[in-house]
Amino acid sequence: MGYTLAEKIIAAHLVEGEMKPGAEIGLRIDQTLTQDATGTMAYLELEAMGVDRVKTERSVAYIDHNTLQSGFENADDHRYIRTVAKKYGVWFSRPGNGICHQVHLERFGVPGKTLIGSDSHTPTGGGIGMLAMGAGGLDVAVAMGGGAYHITMPKTVKVNLTGALPPYVSAKDVILKVLSILSVKGGVGRVIEYGGAGVATLSVPQRATITNMGAELGATTSIFPSDETTRAFLRAQGREGDYVPLAPDADAVYERVIDIDLGALEPLVAKPHSPDNVDTAANLAGLKVDQVCIGSCTNSSLADMLTVAAMLKGRTVHPEVSLVIAPGSKQVLTMLAENGALADIVAAGARVLECACGPCIGMGQAPQSGGVSLRTFNRNFEGRSGTADASVYLVSPETAVASAVAGVLTDPRTFGAPVEIKMPEHFLVNDNLIDPPAESGNDVEVLRGPNIKPFPEAKPLPEEIDAPVTIKVGDNITTDHIMPATTKQLPYRSNIPYLSNYCFTRCDEEFPERMRHTGGGILVGGVNYGQGSSREHAALVPLYLGAKAVLVKSFARIHKANLVNAGILPLVFEDEADYDRITLGDRLVLRGLRESAGTGGERVEIENVTAGVRFGARLELSQRERAVLLAGGLLNYTRESGKNA
C-alpha cells in the first residue's frame, strides 16, 4: 500500500511512534516560524529551557501582528524579539516586511520540509508542498531546541480537483466550497491533500490561499503536490535550488475522496459568524456594504493585488464604502509600485495600509457600529473585527472589489469583462528587512522592557481536584472568546497579568473576578472547544487565573495541546448529556488523578457534590501527554527530562 503525500513527509521525519491513524507520533522539525503576538512567549520559553542556539535548519521570527505603536508596549516586544532572535540563531523579519506566511512562502519555504509555526495559518506552506502546521508557542520553542513535535497521526482526505476556474471565480471560492462540505470541524484529525488534474491549473499563491484556510476546517494541515508550477514559483524567487518534486504514490489510500470540478464553482461568501456558513454571492447580491478589507495571509499575494488593481483601474470606490488594502509583503508592495498597479489602487480611492495583518487581527479599521464588512480574510468570528455588533462576510478579492465599487455585495461575474493580469517571471528580491542572526550569540544582550513579564508556571497534576465550575459555555467556543485579541489586549501578549482582566469577558464579564474570588476553578464547554487560533494565551491566561481542569464535549486540536503544555487537565464528557446536569458554581470533585494519568487510565470519576450526582469523563491523552501533565506542563517536563520532550 502506497503513501499519501503527507504520509511520505511524515515517514521521512518520524522520530517516535507508529504511523497508525490516531496514535501519537513525534516528528523532526526542519523549520519554525513565530509572529510577534505569540513569539514573545515562545522566546521567553526558549530562554527558560536553557538552550544555547536553535537546532532547526531555519527559524524565522516575524513582526506582523502588533505593528501599531501607540504606546511603548509593542516597540518593547519588537526589540525583545529582535535581540533574542539574534542571540539564539533566528532570522528576524522586521515590521513592514510583511505577513509571516506570505513572506515565509516567498523567501524560506522548501517543499518536503516540516514547518511548525506559532500561528494557526502556518499550513499556508502546504501550497508549496511543505508539511506545515500551526502549534503552540511552547511546542515551537521545544522544536527550536531540537525536540520533536508531537501530533496524532492524521488520516488523509483527498480533494480531487478537475477542470479550471472560470473568470472571476478564485481560490477563495475553492476553499469556501470545501468548508461548506466539511464544516469547521470536518478536518479535525485529518490532512487535506489536494490532487487531480485541476491542480496544474492553480498557481502557488492560489494553492496557498486554499491551504491557508484549511486551518478553518480544523485540519492538522493541508498540502498540494510540488510540481513544475512550484519550481517556477521558486525560480521566480531566485530559489530554484530549493525545488524538489513531490507527489503521492499512485496506490495511496485515502479515508475519503471529495471531487470538486473547478469549472462548476461560482463566487461564494462565508456569512457571519463562521467561515463554514457559506452562501453564493449571487444569493447575497444587493446587501449594503460599509467597509471592504483586502489582504491578510489568505489573499495578499502579488497575483491577488494585481487582480484588485486591474479591477479598480479607472473606477472609483463607492462613496459610502471604506476600502482598505494591505499587501502581504514588502516584495508585493514594491512590485505593485514599480509596475504602476499601486497608482491604480490609490487613484480609485482605496486606503493602502502597511504590509501586515492589520484589520485581520483587529489592529485598526474596526467597522462602524452595526456595520457590514466584506473581507478577504479567513475568519469572521463575532467581535474579531473590533466592533462587537459588526457583520463580517468572507469573500474573494474579486467579490471584494466588485462590491467596493458598487456599494452593495456584488457577484463579480456581473462586474464586466474579465481582467487579465500578467505575472512577472522574476519577483523583486530584496531581503534588506530580514536580519540574519549573529554568528555567535555570546556577545548579544537580550533587551527587555517593562511590558515583558514572566509567564505563569504550572504545578504538577494533583491527586485530587476539588473546585467550583467557574464558567459554563456552549459549542464552538473560539480562542477569541477565551482570550480576546483586540487592540486593547494585543500589545500585552507578553504581559499575562494584564491580559487576565479580559479572559472570557465576551462570554461572561465576571469570569476573571470570579476566578480570583474562588481561587480558581473548572471550566465547562461544549463541542469543538478552543477552535480558531493557535494562541497559547488561551491556556496560559486561564492557568494564571487558577484553571485546574477544562471539561468539554470535544476539543480543537491545537488548544487541547496548549492546555496539556500549560499543565491544565483536559477532560471530555463520557456522556454528553452530563453537560446539561452541570450548573455554574457547582462543586466538582475529581479523585485519583495522578494514578489515572500515570497508569494509562482512560476514565476519571467526577462527583458533582452540589447536584449529588456522579459521572465519568475521558482522559484522551497519549503516554507523553500524561507525563507532561504529571510534571506540571511541558516546560517542567522538558527541564526534568532534559530531552526537550
Interface residue list for ligand F3S (CB under 6 A): 65, 99-101, 119, 121, 296-297, 357, 360-361, 378
Spatial contact of 642 and 635, defined as CB atoms under 8 Å apart = no
Q: Please state the closest distance from residue 1 (CB atom) to ligand F3S, in A.
A: 37
Contacts of 421 (CB under 8 A, 6+ apart): 303, 306, 307, 310
- Residues 159 and 193: their CA atoms lie apart, in Å, by 6
Three-state secondary structure readout of 487-539: CCCHHHCCCHHHHHHHCCCCCCCCHHHHHHHHCCEEEECCCCECECCCCCHHH
Q: Please state the closest distance from residue 569 (CB atom) to ligand F3S, in A.
A: 29
- Residues 537 and 496: their CA atoms lie apart, in Å, by 8
From 118, 533, 534, 554, the catalytic residue = 533
Contacts of 603 (CB under 8 A, 6+ apart): 574, 596, 616, 617, 618, 619
Catalytic-residue membership of 379: yes
Residue among 31 and 596 whose Cβ is closer to ligand F3S = 31
- Residues 38 and 366: their CA atoms lie apart, in Å, by 22
Contacts of 414 (CB under 8 A, 6+ apart): 285, 402
Residue among 356 and 593 whose Cβ is closer to ligand F3S = 356
Burial 400-424 (b: 16+ CB within 10 A, else e): bbbbbbbbbbbbbbebeeebeeeee
Q: Please state the closest distance from residue 132 (CB atom) to ligand F3S, in A.
A: 13
Spatial contact of 51 and 86, defined as CB atoms under 8 Å apart = no
Q: Please state the closest distance from residue 478 (CB atom) to ligand F3S, in A.
A: 13
Q: Please state the closest distance from residue 363 (CB atom) to ligand F3S, in A.
A: 8
Catalytic-residue membership of 369: no
Q: Please state the closest distance from residue 607 (CB atom) to ligand F3S, in A.
A: 42
Catalytic-residue membership of 391: no
Residue among 39 and 198 whose Cβ is closer to ligand F3S = 39
- Residues 382 and 386: their CA atoms lie apart, in Å, by 9
Secondary-structure breakdown of the chain: helix, strand, coil percentages, each rounded to the nearest 5: 35, 20, 45
Name the strand (E) or helix (H) holding 170. Answer: none
Largest CA distance in the chain: 72
Residue among 246 and 297 whose Cβ is closer to ligand F3S = 297
Q: Is residue 174 helix, strand or coil?
A: helix
Q: Specify the DSSP class assigned to residue 130.
A: -
Torsion of Cα atoms, 66 then 362 then 284 then 528, to 10°: 90
From 65, 78, 207, 413, the catalytic residue = 65
From 231, 379, 413, 537, the catalytic residue = 379
For residue 46 the three cell numbers come to 526558549
Residue among 357 and 401 whose Cβ is closer to ligand F3S = 357
Catalytic-residue membership of 119: yes
Provide the residue type at 167 as one letter: P
Q: Please state the closest distance from residue 124 (CB atom) to ligand F3S, in A.
A: 8
Q: Please state the closest distance from residue 369 (CB atom) to ligand F3S, in A.
A: 22
For residue 505 the three cell numbers come to 469577558
Residue among 65 and 271 whose Cβ is closer to ligand F3S = 65
Q: Which residues pair with 589 in a beta bridge?
A: 466, 607
φ, ψ for residue 422, nearest 5 deg: -115, 115
Q: Please state the closest distance from residue 344 (CB atom) to ligand F3S, in A.
A: 24
For residue 134 the three cell numbers come to 500551526
- Residues 551 and 446: their CA atoms lie apart, in Å, by 39
Residue among 121 and 624 whose Cβ is closer to ligand F3S = 121
Q: Specify the DSSP class assigned to residue 57.
A: S
From 30, 36, 77, 119, the catalytic residue = 119
Residue among 128 and 419 whose Cβ is closer to ligand F3S = 128
Residue among 25 and 361 whose Cβ is closer to ligand F3S = 361
Q: Please state the closest distance from residue 199 (CB atom) to ligand F3S, in A.
A: 24
Residue among 297 and 477 whose Cβ is closer to ligand F3S = 297
Residue among 51 and 128 whose Cβ is closer to ligand F3S = 128
Residue among 367 and 512 whose Cβ is closer to ligand F3S = 367
Query: CA-CA distances (angstroms) from residue 547 to 110, 563, 581, 594, 631?
Result: 40, 10, 21, 17, 16
Spatial contact of 163 and 264, defined as CB atoms under 8 Å apart = yes
Contacts for 618-624: CB closer than 8 Å, 24+ residues apart: 618/571, 618/572, 618/573, 618/574, 619/571, 620/570, 620/572, 621/564, 621/570, 621/597, 622/24, 622/150, 622/152, 623/24, 624/24, 624/26, 624/150
C-alpha triplet 125, 138, 532: angle, nearest 5°: 55
Q: Please state the closest distance from residue 305 (CB atom) to ligand F3S, in A.
A: 15
Q: Please state the closest distance from residue 556 (CB atom) to ligand F3S, in A.
A: 16
For residue 365 the three cell numbers come to 479599521
- Residues 378 and 210: their CA atoms lie apart, in Å, by 10
From 64, 276, 290, 411, the catalytic residue = 64
φ, ψ for residue 636, nearest 5 deg: -60, -40
Q: Which residues are catalytic?
A: 64-65, 119, 379, 533, 535
